[in-house]
Amino acid sequence: MPIDPAARRAGIMGVGFSVPEKVLTNRDLEKMVDTSDEWIRSRTGIAERRIAEKGTGTSDLGAEAARRALAQAGLKPEHVGLLIAATTTADMPLPSCACLIQEKIGAKNAAAFDLGAACAGYVYALVVAEQFVKNGVYKNVLVVGADLISSYIDWTDRSTCVLFGDGAGAAVVSEVKTGGILSSVLGSDGRYGDLLKICAGGSKRPASAETVREKGHYLQMSGSEVFKLAVRGMVDAVLRALAKAGVKKEEVACLIPHQANQRIIDAVAERLEFPKEKIFVNLQKYGNTSSASCAIALCEALEAGKIRKKDKVVLTTFGSGLVWGAMVMEW
């Protein structure tokens, strides 16, 4: 049968998330580095974050989030045609995190691969899923945004260790008759790769006694530069995605931005002239969970009744690369 992409629409049929039980508060961090609850709250908005126990893999959190999303969508694991794991902190370099999740949940009919777009990975993966559903290749695509970034944090570096947490969020993308994903915008600018990076542990600088000594396996960030580019990237992506969808700002019921820093979110709201009450924020509880950030926030916004049927919802993410994206949906 000839495929007519214009005839199909894709939308999110179910979501779920999973975070570790262990809570690390700002007060706990005060005992580890030279920082204060007041500094962390006023500069970032974060009060606590979840940290996985040693021995936990990103795929463990991802699998739990995936099971919950499938249950909400009313699907069985064998109904999944494609599983995309958006992560930059897979359990190990090989096999992929997606294959580990596939095995854990029993999605035996799925193709599976990882997608690396750092903190922007969830929106990137939703866009990829949308293409496969729209062109008719797969009926149900399971997107998992999962990161266990605590494994890459230097817990003696106060400029980064207060910002991040572990978590996973998942979404089932399937065909919908109306609404669903209306538009998306993805962007990247590799010129800024040095601003947020993990230098060692890859093909160029494999792990060695030297890379460990130099702390090359930890995340390094130029905070204030990333801050400015995050605001610019997300504002631009949201405006372009709204224009593409033909949706006015005033029609949007809920904006879910990447949960990195309350001040970044406030600056995005200000530039967009968007009411703060319509922006969903949960970073106070989880910190920045990288590719899980928007995924978890979407779950909690739904649980909190912030999104109702037919509402227009906007997601926007930003991360290392630099990469960014935005998506407009009708729920």
Enumerate the active-site residues.
119, 258, 288
Instruction: End-to-end CA distance of the chain: give it in Å, rounded.
Output: 29
Looking only at Cα atoms, what is the longest distance across the chain? 64
Q: Which backbone phi and psi does 73 adopt, to 5 degrees?
A: -80, -10
- Closest approach, Cβ 139 to ligand ACO, in A, equals 32
Strand partners, 142: 83, 172
Report 18-47 residues binding ligand ACO (CB under 6 A).
35, 39-40, 43-44
Q: Which is nearer to ligand ACO, 179 or 223 (CB)?
A: 223
d(CA 305, CA 301): 6
Alpha helices, DSSP H, located in 50-192: 58-73, 97-105, 121-134, 158-161
Two structure tokens written together for 179: 């609404």
- Closest approach, Cβ 261 to ligand ACO, in A, equals 4
d(CA 322, CA 330): 28
Q: Which is nearer to ligand ACO, 20 or 319 (CB)?
A: 319
Question: Virtual CA dihedral for 157, 295, 315, 285, nearest 10 degrees?
Answer: -50
Q: Which is nearer to ligand ACO, 40 or 182 (CB)?
A: 40
Q: Are the C-beta atoms of residues 117 and 180 closer than 8 Å to each other? A: no
150 binds ligand ACO (CB under 6 A): no
Report 103-142 residues binding ligand ACO (CB under 6 A).
118-119
- With CA atoms as reference, report the closest residue to 288 among 202, 201, 196, 225: 196
- Closest approach, Cβ 122 to ligand ACO, in A, equals 11
290 binds ligand ACO (CB under 6 A): yes
Q: Which is nearer to ligand ACO, 40 or 128 (CB)?
A: 40
Q: How many residues bind ligand ACO (CB under 6 A)?
A: 25
Q: Which residue is nearest to ligand ACO (CB)?
A: 223
Alpha-carbon torsion 127, 133, 136, 138, what sign?
positive
- Closest approach, Cβ 226 to ligand ACO, in A, equals 4
The number of angstroms, rounded, from the C-alpha of 107 to the middle of its chain's C-alpha atoms is 22
Does residue 140 sit in helix, strand or coil? strand
Report 312-331 residues binding ligand ACO (CB under 6 A).
318-320
Q: Are the C-beta atoms of residues 268 and 32 closer than 8 Å to each other? A: no
- Closest approach, Cβ 115 to ligand ACO, in A, equals 15
Report 156-175 residues binding ligand ACO (CB under 6 A).
158-159, 162
Per-residue interface string for the shown chain with ligand ACO, residues 248-277, x marking contact by CB under 6 A: ------------xx--x-------------
283 binds ligand ACO (CB under 6 A): no
- Closest approach, Cβ 260 to ligand ACO, in A, equals 3
Per-residue interface string for the shown chain with ligand ACO, residues 223-252, x marking contact by CB under 6 A: xx-xx--x----------------------
196 binds ligand ACO (CB under 6 A): yes
Q: Which backbone phi and psi does 45 adopt, to 5 degrees?
A: 90, -5
The angle at the Cα of 56, spanning 144 to 71, to the nearest 5 degrees, equals: 40
Does residue 75 sit in helix, strand or coil? coil
Q: Which is nearer to ligand ACO, 39 or 113 (CB)?
A: 39
Q: Which is nearer to ligand ACO, 228 or 248 (CB)?
A: 228
d(CA 10, CA 202): 35
- Closest approach, Cβ 270 to ligand ACO, in A, equals 16
Interface with ligand ACO by CB under 6 A: which residues? 35, 39-40, 43-44, 118-119, 158-159, 162, 196, 221, 223-224, 226-227, 230, 260-261, 264, 288, 290, 318-320
